[in-house]
Amino acid sequence: MKNNIRALPAIQLIDVCKSYGFAENKVDALKNVNLEIKKGEFLALCGPSGSGKSSLLNVLSGIDQPDAGITLFLNKSLNELHENQLSAVRSRHLGFIFQFFNLIPVLSAFDNVYYPLILNGHFPRKTAQELAWHYLDSVGIRALGDRKPGQLSGGQQQRVAIARALANQPDVVVADEPTGNLDMATGDAILDLLLRINQDTGTTFIISTHSTQLKDRARRVIEIEDGELVSDSIR
Ligand SMILES: Nc1ncnc2c1ncn2[C@@H]1O[C@H](COP(=O)(O)OP(=O)(O)OP(=O)(O)O)[C@@H](O)[C@H]1O
């Protein structure tokens, strides 16, 4: 990875606030959050349950709009965009990995990676096929490409989900508790894989987690408590 690429901001949040509910039911999930994430970073977002991790991931990836403040993604403001424009930004630039994998059960592992590429419309069929096999290969699961998710272990399903997130060649991968549903050894193997991909490709990773392994190995760790960023350490 080129060092000068790392210096460029992938995402900037300026005084971002996000609340849910009204009056006595109002919850301030993000309180004046300021954050800059550079290209190529591998960032763990940690904090207790209900501290605002998912709210932060949703805002920085354009799934949700903040109530106040500015969200810049690759130096462009997301604030003024309509849902279809946000959706276009997400499908072109972002990959998502979830705790419960979110694979389509009736499709094979290969089709779970291949069909989103076709639906996004960014690649012709032949290229999409090649990309799907390439990324299944790179996560070590090419030989299981014909199996449906129900015929795969949790770790294997997460590898398919990682291949799906990467196949679109996103600038940023956002992962919400990617090892949260895996045993420790499998979680470690998935973490090895994410770190290797980050190292090899320079893809930016932003990962919310309760996992101490992930926290120990991420190069940047941000702690959030009660909607506020309370620490930010880079090794
Ligand atoms: N759609 C919603 N409606 C109302 N309140 C919400 C909504 N989403 C989140 N909240 C509240 O906002 C606060 C932050 O929630 P968030 O899901 O961002 O936390 P989290 O750190 O991701 O939690 P967890 O680790 O349990 O997933 C919590 O008090 C939560 O109850």
Model confidence over 177-189: pLDDT tens digits? 999 988 889 899 9
What are the pLDDT digits (tens) for 186-228?
Answer: 899 999 999 999 999 999 999 999 989 899 999 999 999 999 9
**Mutate-to-test residue for ligand 1 from 17, 18, 20, 99, highest number of ligand atoms within 8 A of CB:** 20
Query: What pLDDT is stored for residue 1 in this prediction?
Result: 46
pTM above 0.95, yes or no: no
Q: Please provide residue 229's backbone torsions phi and psi, each rounded to the nearest 5 degrees.
A: -75, 120
- Domain extents for the chain? 42-54+81-234
For the CA of 208, the closest atom of ligand 1 is 22
- Enumerate residues 6+ apart whose C-beta is below 8 A from 201: 1, 166
Q: How far apart are CA 232 and CA 72, in angstroms?
A: 19
pLDDT at 141 over 80: yes
pLDDT at 4 over 70: no
> Does the C-beta of 55 come closer than 6 Å to ligand 1?
yes
Nearest to 185 by CA among 165, 155, 206, 162: 155
Mean pLDDT in residue range 86-114: 94
pLDDT band at 5 (very low <50, low <70, confident <90, very high): low
- Indicate the fold that domain 42-54+81-234 takes in CATH: Rossmann fold (3.40.50)
Predicted ipTM of the assembly:
0.97
Atom 24 (ligand 1): residue with closest C-alpha?
Answer: 49
> Does the C-beta of 84 come closer than 6 Å to ligand 1?
no
Atom 29 (ligand 1): residue with closest C-alpha?
Answer: 50
Q: What is the dihedral of CA 39, 139, 180, 176, to 10 degrees?
A: 30
Q: How far apart are CA 137 and CA 131, in angstroms?
A: 10
Residue 159 near residue 140 (C-beta atoms within 8 A): yes
For the CA of 227, the closest atom of ligand 1 is 14
> Does the C-beta of 54 come closer than 6 Å to ligand 1?
yes
